[in-house]
Amino acid sequence: MQYHLNGFKPGDPDILAAAPKHRLPHSPLPKTVDVLIAGTGPAGLCLAAQLAKVPEISTLVVEPKLVPMEKGQADGISVRSMEMFQAFGFAEKVLRESVWINETTFWAPQEQAALTRVARVQDVPDGISEMPHVLINQARVHDLFMEVMRNAPTRLEPDYGLKVATLKVDPDASEFPVTVTLEHTSPGREGQTETVRANYVIGCDGARSNVRTAIGGALHGDAAHQAWGVIDLLAVTDFPDWRIKSFVRSKDDGTLMVLPREGGHLVRLYVEMDSLGEHERVAKRGLNADDIVAKAQRILKPFKLAVKEVVWWSIYEIGHRLTDKFDDVPPDQLATRSPRVMLAGDACHTHSPKAGQGMNVSMGDTFNLGWKLISVLTGKADASLLHSYSAERRAAAQGLVAFDHKWARVVGARADSLAQENIGEGKDGLPRVAREFVKNLPFTCGLTIQYEPSALTGLNSYQALAPGFDLGKRFHSAPVIRLADAKPMQLGHTVEADARFRLFLFAPQNDTGAAGGTIAKLCDWLAHDPASPLRQHTAAGADVDALIDTRAVFQQGHRDLNHETMPALLRPHVGRYGLCDYEKVFCVDHRSVDLFEARGIDRHEGCLVIVRPDQYVGHVLPLAARGALSAYFAGIFKGVGRTT
């Protein structure tokens, strides 16, 4: 990380200087705000953590509960979310505290045994990410986002004991068009209301979202009519795979999943309970933690399970539902109105926890939305950019709901005989559930989302220049060596959650960055030509990388190049002191993985890759495609006509 840019600051570098006149915790509610976020789940806090870093943006986060979450709910963190956590700066904490899911086992009855391990597979395929799949308490994820918020210039804190009761949008108002009625939920103030006007309202308030209801939205879908119990516990058992993620399918009592949790002792069980009638709700069954434990003990026989402490439990019904719209703009007004109210997380899609995607997709929603709101509210982009949120994330949610619908039935399917279990079918010798699990690993890792061509995702005309950087998919990191200090690192870790685009220049063979070469000529054009996107969209007086951060990767080893001969754009002088940024130039790590080979980058031609602020590949272009490069950014940002 970089700090001391504008002067030496002792202490924790993650604690940024406070913005003047930032709102203090527990102070009276503001009358107007730029963004009101309803809900402090993973979606709401992921968005708040981004907005908190921008002093020009006023944000209010409200939550009906009276205190932050402490335990329960989601626990699975996909490799894609871990990549996102890296951008926020707390991936290392999660790696240290969490339990890593390295393998998954599958248990089923066999003819000669009540319960036998029938398969064991690797949980994250080799080479798809530098990050592991981990499990950690959702409350801890909340803590980490709130730490980012508290350390940001705005010192943003949620306001607890408040819920959105109603809201109304005035489409003709240019400022603060959303009037929100907030209702107090704290003891002694129940039912009292206050009014706040906002430029934007983001509903992260769960499956029973009041924000969704206020804009006329509804969840549509179906239910599997099956009750499942989830329980976090401390227990003594002789089940061999207690610290390995396991699918356990009994002969007569259903299925459970074993999920080891952080700390070396805590374990979560997902336990198949009872089938439900067509119109029956699970709450009417009166099931409790004892019922979950008893069912788990029956499924695990002949292994013993002695529960010492129940930490948290819940009973839920499997449902797969999706809202018809992620924002407040009617379909017939898309050309004339921009969104003012948007939904994220469970407010717009619900599904079972079997694939561990709920928290991950919810955070993905607002990681997509955050940089777009920042770009609009700081005047860099037109409000029409916000239409892309619903277009991109509703398609992602549709894919999730469809997958979860299928996967929940695979996990919950009964197999009363060896033949039905299909053990040994096919060359892999895996039972059906294990085979489906392996086939779906890229999805459960969070790596199959691919945004369709749009202003934000270019056409694949030049995909052959770098087939390993799929257009519309997340930027697949790889090892590099930083030239200035010979540091081995991941190239993708340069993409931080700061609302900036990254422009990666992959140099042609034999290009050393010296004057007259392809990279030098392109950097000179980027820095000085009026048609350059850096000149067109970076505000006067701002650092040259304030909006678009340009970096280069060379094919030579780091000892074969000289940092001092690199183009000035790759050695920019930034900040109030004009200090040199030494972290823009990288070389292939020949001791590890050759990035050019691993991602199929054309060695002769090289290429440029545009990476969006949410870590997705926006475009792959030839190094000479200057017109197309300018056109891409002109389709997103306003021109400012930079002259300095």
Q: What is the mean pLDDT of residues 303-307?
A: 98
Structure tokens of 374? 């920042």
Q: 609 in a domain, yes or no?
A: yes
Q: What is the mean pLDDT of residues 474-503?
A: 98
Domain at 527, CATH number: 3.40.30.20
Q: What is the mean pLDDT of residues 508-517?
A: 97
Q: What does the pLDDT read at residue 404?
A: 74
Q: 79 in a domain, yes or no?
A: no
pLDDT one-digit tens code per residue, 3-39: 999 999 999 999 999 999 999 998 999 999 999 999 9
In a shared domain, residues 181 and 254: no
Inter-residue contact 86 to 131 (CB < 8 Å): yes
Q: What does the pLDDT read at residue 553?
A: 98
Packing angle of the helix pair 138-151, 42-51 (nearest 10 deg): 20
In a shared domain, residues 473 and 564: yes
Reply yes or no on whether the pLDDT at 436 is more than 80: yes
Q: 184 in a domain, yes or no?
A: yes
State CA 479 to chain mean position distance.
22
Q: What residues pair up with 158 in beta bridges, in sequence order?
A: none
With cut-offs at 50, 70 and 90, classify the pLDDT of residue 572: very high
Among the residue ranges 205-209, 318-322, 323-327, 376-380, the one predicted with the least confidence is 318-322
Q: What is the mean pLDDT of residues 404-409?
A: 71
- 420-427: long-range contacts (C-beta < 8 A, 24 or more apart)? 421/108, 421/118, 421/249, 423/108, 423/110, 423/118
Separation of alpha carbons 103 and 244, rounded Å: 7
Q: What does the pLDDT read at residue 416?
A: 42
In a shared domain, residues 329 and 369: yes
Q: What is the DSSP letter of 381?
A: B
Q: 286 in a domain, yes or no?
A: yes
Measure the CA dihedral 164/214/362/277, to 10°.
110
73 CB contacts (<8 Å, ≥6 apart)? 138, 139, 359
Reply yes or no on whether the pLDDT at 424 is more than 60: no
Torsions phi, psi of 73, nearest 5?
65, -145
Separation of alpha carbons 89 and 105, rounded Å: 32
Domains held by the chain: number: 3
Q: What does the pLDDT read at residue 418?
A: 38
Instruction: Mark 12-27 as b/e (b = at least 16 C-beta within 10 Å).
Output: eeeebeebeeebeeee
* Domain final residue, candidates 444, 473, 507: 444
Q: What does the pLDDT read at residue 197?
A: 98
Q: What does the pLDDT read at residue 643?
A: 45
In a shared domain, residues 487 and 511: yes
Q: What is the mean pLDDT of residues 188-195?
A: 96
Amino acid at 163: K
In a shared domain, residues 247 and 339: no
**Residue 580 structural domain:** 460-634
With cut-offs at 50, 70 and 90, classify the pLDDT of residue 600: very high
In a shared domain, residues 529 and 587: yes
With cut-offs at 50, 70 and 90, classify the pLDDT of residue 321: confident
Reply yes or no on whether the pLDDT at 401 is more than 60: yes
Q: 22 in a domain, yes or no?
A: no
Inter-residue contact 611 to 619 (CB < 8 Å): no
In a shared domain, residues 255 and 309: yes
Q: 513 in a domain, yes or no?
A: yes
Torsions phi, psi of 385, nearest 5?
-55, -30
Q: CA distances (Å), 259 to each of 244, 318, 507, in order?
A: 7, 18, 45
Q: What residues pair up with 110 in beta bridges, in sequence order?
A: 113
pLDDT one-digit tens code per residue, 134-169: 999 999 999 999 999 999 999 999 999 999 999 999
Domain at 165, CATH number: 3.50.50.60
- 236 or 409: whose pLDDT is higher? 236
In a shared domain, residues 289 and 235: yes
Q: What does the pLDDT read at residue 641?
A: 60
In a shared domain, residues 266 and 328: no
Inter-residue contact 556 to 596 (CB < 8 Å): no
In a shared domain, residues 181 and 307: no
Q: What is the mean pLDDT of residues 221-245?
A: 90
Reply yes or no on whether the pLDDT at 642 is more than 70: no
With cut-offs at 50, 70 and 90, classify the pLDDT of residue 280: low
How large a percentage of the chain has pLDDT more than 90? 82
Q: 11 in a domain, yes or no?
A: no
Domain at 239, CATH number: 3.30.9.10
pTM metric for this prediction? 0.95
With cut-offs at 50, 70 and 90, classify the pLDDT of residue 420: very low
Q: What is the mean pLDDT of residues 404-428?
A: 56
In a shared domain, residues 185 and 257: no
With cut-offs at 50, 70 and 90, classify the pLDDT of residue 74: confident
Q: 25 in a domain, yes or no?
A: no
With cut-offs at 50, 70 and 90, classify the pLDDT of residue 277: low
In a shared domain, residues 398 and 541: no
Residue labelled with tokens 């006329």: 216
